Amino acid sequence: MSHELPAAGKGFIWPQLLYVSDGESIRVICRQSPALSNEPVHYLSEFEATVPVREFEIGVDSFMDLQPRGNPL
C-alpha cells in the first residue's frame, strides 16, 4: 500500500511525500515543490530513503511526543 501525504488535506500544506510499504520496510519519496508553485510554502528537499518499519514507527512516535497535548494547532 502507499499513501501521499498531501492527500491528508484538512487545509494543511504538506510536502510531496509518498510512503510505500512492503510490510518490512517503508520507502519514503520526497519531491521538491515546483519552482512556479503558487503555494505560500516551498519545499526544497528531494530524496528517497528506505527505512525498516520498526525504525519508522519509533521515529513517528518520537515526533508525536514532541507535540503539546491538548493544545490544537
Per-residue pLDDT tens listing for the chain (73 residues): 556 666 665 666 778 888 899 999 999 999 888 888 777 778 888 999 999 999 999 998 998 888 666 655 5
Enter the pTM of the model: 0.63
Q: Which long-range contacts (CB under 8 A, 24 or more apart) does 13-21 make?
A: 13/39, 13/40, 13/41, 15/43, 15/45, 16/43, 21/53
- pLDDT at position 34, please? 81
Rounded to the nearest 10°, the torsion over CA 20, 25, 49, 9 is: 40
- pLDDT at position 23, please? 92
> What is the domain partition of the chain in residue ranges?
2-65
- pLDDT at position 58, please? 94
> What's the CA gap between 73 and 68, in Å, rounded?
9
- pLDDT at position 6, please? 60
Beta carbons within 10 angstroms of residue 35's beta carbon: 6
